[in-house]
Amino acid sequence: MQDSILAVEGVSLRFGGVRALTEVSFEVRRGEVFSVIGPNGAGKTSMVNCVSGRYRPTEGRIAFEGQDITRLPPSRRAPLGIGRTFQNLALFGHMTVLDNIMVGRHHLLKAGFLRGMAHWIGGARAEEIVHRREVEDIIDFLEIQHVRKAPAGTLPYGLRKRVELARAIALKPKLILLDEPMAGMNLEEKEDMARFILDLNQEWDMTVLMIEHDMGVVMDISSRVMVLDFGRRIAEGTPDEVLAHPQVRRAYLGEAVEEAAA
């Protein structure tokens, strides 16, 4: 059995009198693709925001590789090996694709201010070359060489989603959080993104925690799936187990699955 890289224990999240999450517990095992699904407003993004540090749970505990990170700010989670993309793109539109991805390497830079002043005669230049090489590998992997010098804000939506993913990969995360990576994409773009996610998992050795509405993609590439409904966990298991769960069929899939099964 694979060891746990992320453990969420009894996490609740309230905004005033509104409960976004209620006593949610689950674990993500090292080396798997773990997907979180559920209707709109089920608490999926709130859960990812708690893991990334954007939100602090009202109750409960979150541990990454055995370390309690419940109260750590996002800036201290990235160096531990947690990266993420956002449901709404958060790129620097005026910056080039290359520079946007380089931003993702900032916590890995070791050269300080004084070495930066001596950039061309010190170690900072050599360090930058190493990081540029890493970024170029990511650009090649995501097949965005042809737009590497283009301002990110000028790109079509599907390519901007790849750049967002590239920046998250640049953190060199052990766990990557993907918030609806295929939202708004056409079929071809979704197939490409699914392939990239599987390659990240299998070839780049990244554990994936993903929110995604496309059930076909979720069932095809996930190791395990958790279902949230009104902020509560109602099911967890393999894709087949979750798809057969009667409460999931009622809450998330509805009558369409009943008709398909008939």
Query: In a structure prediction context, what are the per-residue pLDDT tens digits for the chain, which is 262 residues long?
Result: 458 999 999 999 999 889 999 999 999 999 999 999 998 889 999 999 999 999 999 999 999 999 999 999 998 998 999 999 987 777 888 999 999 998 877 655 554 444 444 444 555 566 667 778 889 999 999 999 999 999 999 999 999 999 999 999 998 999 999 999 998 899 999 999 999 999 999 999 999 999 998 888 999 999 999 999 999 999 999 999 998 888 888 776 564 444 444 4
pTM: predicted TM-score of the whole model, two decimal places: 0.86
Q: Can you give the C-alpha Rg of the chain in angstroms? A: 19
CB proximity list for 40: less than 8 A, separation 6 or greater: none
Residue ranges, comma separated, of all CATH 3.40.50.300 domains in the chain are: 1-81+173-262
CATH code for residues 1-81+173-262: 3.40.50.300
Q: Tell me the β-bridge partners of 177.
A: 84, 209
The whole-angstrom separation of Cα 239 and Cα 232 is 19
- The 3-state DSSP class for residue 76 equals helix
